[in-house]
Amino acid sequence: MSVTTTTGRPGPLRALRDPRTLRALRFTVLLALVLVFLMPVYVLVVTSFKSLQEADPSTAWNLPRDWSLEGWSAAWESLRPGLENSVKIAVSGSLIAAVLGSLNGYVLSKWRFPGADAVFTLFLFGMFIPYQAVMIPLAGLLTDMELVGTIRGLVLAHVVYGIPICTLIFRNYYVTIPDELIEAARVDGAGMLRTYASIVLPVSAPAFAVTLIWQFTSLWNDFLFAVFLGAPDSWPVTVMLNNTAGSGAVAVQYNQQMASALLASLPTLLVYLLLGRFFMRGLMAGALKG
């Protein structure tokens, strides 16, 4: 039974089935969700460009009367050491964990040995151990190694915790590589490392993209390891940002705090904006190949 109006036009039910109407409705809903998501970002940006006298919660939605870089300058001065430490920790920790995860995934997927499944299960078990469960023994271990309170100690802790997820990603990706390629390399006399360098590593870019982005984000946003195992000289930007939030003794410096939050989040935001498509391609490559 068709639904039409007396003028012969389609009724509301039929109009909703129109592809153009559905597309416009979907676009409207998505646009509304984007606006809701960007509202806090708008407040962050406009407040960061206000002067200390103008930055006030009652005028958070107002544009600055006089655009000022006072908050950004103060934020940069207070966060610069933490940003440098975060770059050292995130970049080195991501690279080391990705390389070790690649080697582990290659051995567990292409060079089978007795007990390989049990070893892989133990790697996966490491993903579910919470930080808090090992914090005290880990601090004792780093103290014995004279690494507590240092950037090297933080990198080591993050690498150990990053190996399980990196191994899982690479192992699932390498399973999709045809075994015939590995066997052909063996027939030609290539050993384990030569096969890895000549056959496996050149096709590993998607998996490396996923693990590097994942690890960089995790290391950059870490707070618990940093505050528990670090020291003022090795504190990353997350700890510095937390200290900035409580630094206003007389008046809360909202402009500096907002600028600090933006500075601390810009690197991970840029990573996802520039490399996000590689992240999705890497995930889909591991899921669909073979």
Asked if the structure places residue 48 within a domain, the reply is: no
Residue 19 lies in a domain: no
| Average pLDDT over every residue of 122-141 | 87
Q: Quote the distance between the C-alpha of residue 8 and its chain's center.
A: 55
Residue 231 is classified by DSSP as: -
Least confident of 11-15, 29-33, 93-97, 115-119: 11-15
Q: Is residue 21 part of a domain?
A: no
289: confidence class by pLDDT, cuts 50, 70, 90: very low
What's the predicted TM-score (pTM) here? 0.83
Average pLDDT, stretch 77-102? 94
* 163 in Cβ contact with 123 (< 8 Å): yes
Cα dist. 13→9, 10, 26, 61 in Å? 11, 8, 16, 40
> Could you give the 3-state DSSP secondary structure of residue 4?
strand
Which phi and psi (to 5°) does residue 10 adopt?
-65, 140
pLDDT bracket for residue 59 (50, 70, 90): confident
Q: In the predicted model, what is the mean pLDDT of the chain?
A: 85
Q: pLDDT of 147-177, one tens digit each?
A: 999 999 999 999 999 999 999 999 989 988 8
Residue 12 lies in a domain: no
* Residue 175 domain flag: yes
Residue 167 counted as domain residue: yes
Cβ contact 187:263 at 8 Å: no
Q: Which residues lie below 8 Å from residue 164, measured CB to CB, with a gap of 6+?
A: 123, 124, 125, 126, 127
What range does the domain containing 180 cover?
74-288
Residue 6 confidence (pLDDT) above 70: no
pLDDT cut 70: percent of the chain above it? 88
In sequence order, the 6+-apart residues with CB closer than 8 A to the CB of 58 are none
Task: Confirm whether 173 is domain-assigned.
Answer: yes
pLDDT surpassing 80 at residue 290: no
Q: How far apart are CA 194 and CA 224, in angstroms?
A: 40
**Overall average pLDDT of the 113-117 stretch:** 84
Would you say residue 98 has pLDDT above 70? yes
61-87: pLDDT as tens digits: 888 888 889 889 999 999 999 999 999
Question: Is the distance from CB of 225 to CB of 154 less than 8 angstroms?
Answer: yes
Contact 71, 55 (CB under 8 A): yes
| 3-state SS string for 32-77 | HHHHHHHHHHHHHHHHHCCCCCCCCHHHCCCCCCCCCCHHHHHHHH
Q: Which of 114, 109, 223 is nearest to 168 (CA)?
A: 109
Backbone torsions φ then ψ of 148, nearest 5 degrees? -65, 140
**At which residue do the structure tokens 């770059």 appear?**
87
Residue 19 has pLDDT above 80, yes or no: no
- Report the run of H or E that residue 82 belongs to, with start and end: helix 70-110
- Overall average pLDDT of the 254-282 stretch: 84
The first and second tokens of residue 203, run together, are 């096709």
The token pair that represents 144 in the structure block = 């014995």
pLDDT band of 247, cuts 50, 70, 90? low
CATH number at residue 266: 1.10.3720.10
Q: What is the CA radius of gyration of the chain?
A: 26
Tokens standing for residue 31: 């646009």
Domain count, the chain: 1
In this prediction, residue 11 has a pLDDT band, given cuts at 50, 70 and 90, of low
Is the distance from CB of 55 to CB of 47 less than 8 angstroms?
yes
Q: Helices in 145-253 by DSSP H: which ranges?
A: 151-174, 179-187, 192-195, 205-220, 224-229, 237-245
Query: What local confidence, expressed as pLDDT, does residue 225 receive?
Result: 93
What average pLDDT does the segment 95-113 reach? 91
Whether residue 169 lies inside any domain: the answer is: yes
